[in-house]
Amino acid sequence: MMYNDQSVSRQFEALTNYAPALLLRAPGRINIIGEHTDYNQGLVLPGAIDRSLFFAVRPNGTQQLRFWALDIEAAAVVDLIELKPGNSLWLNYLLGIAQQFAKRGHQLVGLDVVFGGNLPVGAGVSSSAALECGMAMSWNLLLQAGYNGSELAQLAQQSSHEFVGIPCGIMDQFASLNGVKDHAIMLDCRDLSYRKVPVAIEGCEWVLLNSKVSHNLAESAYIQRVEECAQGVAVLQQHFPAVKSLRDATPPQVEQLKEAFPGKVYQRCRYIVGEHYRTLAMIDALGAGDAAKAGQLLNLTQLGLAQDYEVSCPEIDFLFAQAYRHPGVYGARIMGGGFGGCTLNLVRKDAREAFVGEALAAYEAAFGKQGEELVVRLVDGVGEV
């Protein structure tokens, strides 16, 4: 079942006998290009989408946090003095945010929190960041903490690192909190400066195809990729001291040290450094309305993610091949952490219906699994309903 702001509010009243004090919308995100570059201090081009989690929140006058997760029909009660990680990932995301506010000297209060939405889990549109950011904004408003979107994104990222144990970049949380309607944002993950970028190209549409696949590899492989990038920086720094992150390296520098990198670190570095330049090129292509160039960049990113970064999977490779062969598609790539989720496709408007129908029919025939088109619009970031 999918939820909206009104149904979440009704559920809150049914569960607590009170109206919520706060009703928030926390969006997921897409990313046009700049994949896995955020934890390398690079550039990314995400946007908040109109698929969201909705939070109904109210102080409850106790020393307990009471949560109801409507989408997964789960609930939990936690004492404020017992904020420690457990076996429930969704709960860890929420409790980690509370701990970050406590660490910053805020006096926490007991809350009732009911949430649900229309944001698919495992589709690469960052339901986890929406969970963190909705909770972070709830505390921010209830405690009158006064943090801005950039500060809340850093708080949520820190929570992921310290409480959840995932060394993520900042893109997902930043996009959820700071999204701009009808635009992507070009975010510099080093200094958190950003500007809005229109992504509409005349005669084209951005299309998401959800493979409905979420492989368990994603989390462990993600941590491994973060470590491999750090190993790459360590090698590069010995020869080029100015390289503080892979964002600073150039393709010739990586090629020069090809034999010095251990294991598959050369391939990882080659992908990340190339993606930095592809992101710059994509911003130019979007500014010029150049669909052919934008599509070519998407295809190159997919090849890099599949071959050098090794975060694709057979289902995504198949959907990419359907897009690559279709005359109405300019380009496509996997979007998100990897090993499943969605492909992002740049499609001619007049070819959209045919492409989506043909690709999903072929996918079902090949894998016995029904994919889906996710229709999304770019919206503003987290806010009160």
Ranges of each domain in the chain: 5-199, 204-374
User: Fold identical between 5-199 and 204-374?
Assistant: no
pLDDT at 2: 93
Q: What does residue 112 show for φ and ψ, rounded to 5 degrees?
A: -105, 130
CA atoms within 13 A on the CB side of 31: 32
pLDDT at 336: 86
CATH 1.10.3720.10 fits 5-199, yes or no: no
| 319 CB neighbour count, 10 Å cutoff | 26
pLDDT at 218: 65
**What distances in angstroms separate CA 235 from CA 125, 191, 241, 305, one per listed residue?**
33, 24, 10, 22
| CA–CA dist 282, 213 (Å, integer) | 28
CATH fit for domain 204-374, picks 3.40.1110.10, 3.40.50.1980, 3.40.50.300, 3.30.70.890:
3.30.70.890
pLDDT at 155: 98
pLDDT in tens, the chain (385 residues): 899 999 999 999 999 999 999 999 999 999 999 999 999 999 999 999 999 999 999 999 999 999 999 999 999 999 999 899 999 999 999 999 999 999 999 999 999 999 999 998 878 888 999 999 999 999 999 999 999 999 999 999 999 999 999 999 999 999 999 999 999 999 999 999 999 999 999 999 999 999 999 866 667 899 999 999 999 999 999 999 999 999 999 999 999 999 999 999 999 999 999 999 999 999 999 999 999 999 999 999 999 999 999 999 999 999 999 999 999 999 999 998 889 999 999 999 999 999 999 999 999 999 999 999 998 999 999 999 9
Structure tokens at 239: 């020869």
| CA–CA dist 191, 111 (Å, integer) | 34
Annotated catalytic residues are: 172
pLDDT at 147: 98
Residues 136 and 102: beta-carbon distance below 8 Å: no
